Amino acid sequence: MTERRFVLLMLLPAMLFLGFLVVYPVVLLVYNSFFDVKLIDPSSRVWVGLGNYVEALTSKRILESALRTLKYSTFALFFELVFGLGAALLFAAIAKRSHWHRTIFALPLMISPIVAGLLWRFLLVGNIGILNYGLAGLGIIADPGAIKWLSDADIVIYSVAVADIWLTTSFVALVSYAGLTNIPQEVLEAARIDGTNAITRFWYITLPMLRPVLAVVVLVRGIDALKTFDLIWIQTQGGPRQASEVLSMNIYQRMVRYGDLGQASATATLFLLFMIALAGLAYWKIWRTDNG
Amino acid sequence: MVDRAPRDDGKLIINAVASVLVLSYALPYVYLVSTALKPAADVQQIPPSFFPAQLSLENFGTVIATAGLPQAFLNSVTVAVLTTLLSLLIAVPAAYVSALYRRRITVLFMLFALVTRMVPAVSLGVPLFQIMKALGLLDTTIGLVLAHTSTAVPLAMLLMAAFFDGVPKELEEAARIDGCSRFGAFWHIVLPVMPSGLAITALFSFIASWNEFLYALLLTSQHGKTAPIVIAEFNSVYGLAWGPMAAAAVLFSLPVILVTLILQKQIVGGLTFGAVKG
């Protein structure tokens, strides 16, 4: 068998499969987005051109949910990075003795978002949520009813992110720890002998050398945070009054509750384009800085 | 950060800080387990207590007797096992040629797998609903397996390609000189030297499918429902049945946590490997 033939043959199953279950659905998605289609009767399609897109881009609810998605992702990503990197530095400082710490820290990686969402809803829920009792016991808040985490429309989008932060800080920590162990100790030792303090060493040596690893973490976690559905759905179903409705949820609701396949498709297409553009930009930036 | 203190004291303090951090991090899950073990009547008491006053398996009993839940767990196992097998079958050969026979087409295909990771599940879910409906596969485990495999294949390809990258090309070449066909070299020589890579990829595919929620919510309604969907339904259908819900969540997460503890080293290795290699 020629090499060319062999390569094609080995790729073929994956190509056919992904062609049928990724490329074809995406084509179908874009096609649907130009029609007014009712979910109950997909044959009843009426061509509306860019109508669905105009509607999507002028809909206050969609724009608000898009903005909320960004807020949620930025908030979650920021704390995941700070906590994760902090934990990684602590683990690196005690090096070999951090085995058990890292083992316990690895556990949430395998906890399903559904379980994490349920758990945090139970911790935060009004009147029986133990977190507020804990905070009140420590004197941080006046009484256990002081903060309505999941029913206050002003803070709910940040409250639901707490579960995300709890769930994925460990990913950031473990990947950062792997990155930290790859930094040659001689460099840090040399800087120490030169009389630099720990903060200087962190800022001018550790952080720059960790940069490629952190870039990948931000990319991977950022993409996942923007796509979040289950974790928030299980905590609030998007409520109260859509105050925690992110873009994925908006599309889901548009399709399932309102049965508007065309509208849902147009919004989903815009979402997809945004994600690919964002990822492209990130890769381009990382690639360029790595090569220059 | 503690250069001025004697070094062992400094390490001791850091160790203590790290221990407090890690333990407080584990507390929420401990609370979930302790809630599941409370008598049903105690779960919603005010003020809440962290530990059960007495241990009870009442909540677990309720869960097992809940209509549909054992079936949903069975569906979850079936879907996750089939997804794992199918995605390995499809992804491993593609990853192999992508790593060992670098050509324009393999590079482009890997790039495509990478881009697929950016696709929001909901964007794929909307048309998948239509396709499954047309094929008569709505609310079936097969339909859900296909949907899950569509996201598992790119992930498995990226992971396996990273593992194949670690295999020296000489191994394949030596096998070829000894008279192996290209496929023979793949099947008899290269594949058998990487059981841990295959195991990790399989485990990741399994866990991703086991935890998946959105496709299951969109594509199943009754017979094909998986465990996460039924657990989530405790929310609405049974009011706020926190006790049974906690018990179901523990049952659902325990198998994966146990496997993680056993294979911790390999999993964390594979995870960081996959992330750092991107």
Interface pTM (ipTM) of the complex? 0.89
Radius of gyration over every alpha carbon of chain A, rounded to an integer in angstroms? 24
Alpha carbon distance A244, A253 (integer Å): 13
pLDDT tens digits, A73-89 = 999 999 999 999 999 99
Determine which helix (DSSP H) or strand (DSSP E) holds A45, and give its type and residue range: strand A41-47
Contact A256, B125 (CB under 8 A): no
Is A170 part of the contact surface with chain B (CB cutoff 8 Å)? Answer: yes
Contact B223, B140 (CB under 8 A): yes
Q: Which residues of chain A lie closer than 8 angstroms to B228, CB-CB?
A: 112, 114, 230
Residue A229 has a pLDDT of: 95
- Is pLDDT above 70 for A251? yes
Tell me which range, B43-47, B112-116, B266-270, is most confidently predicted by mean pLDDT: B112-116
Interface test with B, best of A5, A33, A114, A121 (most B CBs within 10 A): A114
Contact B59, B40 (CB under 8 A): yes
Closest CA to A217 of B275, B267, B162, B156: B275
Determine which helix (DSSP H) or strand (DSSP E) holds A37, and give its type and residue range: strand A35-38
% residues pLDDT > 70 (chain A): 97
- Is pLDDT above 80 for A156? yes
User: What pLDDT band is residue B262 in, cutting at 50, 70 and 90?
Assistant: confident
Closest CA to A213 of A151, A290, A136, A271: A290
Determine the distance in angstroms separating the CA of A116 from the nearest CA of chain B, rounded to an integer: 9
Residues facing residue A180 across a β-bridge:
none
Contact A226, A275 (CB under 8 A): yes
Please indicate whether residue B210 or residue A280 has the higher confidence score (pLDDT): B210
Alpha carbon distance B70, B51 (integer Å): 28
pLDDT tens digits, A6-47 = 999 999 999 999 999 999 999 999 999 999 988 777 677 889
Any alpha helices (H) in B166-241, and if so which ranges?
A: 169-177, 182-184, 195-211, 214-219, 227-233
Contact A244, A156 (CB under 8 A): yes
Residue B2 has a pLDDT of: 44
Query: Which tokens is B277 given?
Result: 């290699």
> What's this model's pTM, rounded to 2 decimal places?
0.90
Contacts of B232 (CB under 8 A, 6+ apart): A114, A118, A233, A234, B213, B217
Alpha carbon distance A263, A253 (integer Å): 11
Beta carbons of B26 and A103 less than 8 Å apart? no
Round the average pLDDT of chain B to a whole number and report it: 87
Query: Which tokens is B250 given?
Result: 């523990």
- Is pLDDT above 70 for A214? yes
Report angle CA A289, A80, B76 to the nearest 5 degrees. Answer: 110
- Is pLDDT above 90 for A130? no
Residue B122 has a pLDDT of: 93
Q: Which residues of chain B lie closer than 8 angstroms to A114, CB-CB?
A: 211, 213, 228, 231-232, 249, 252
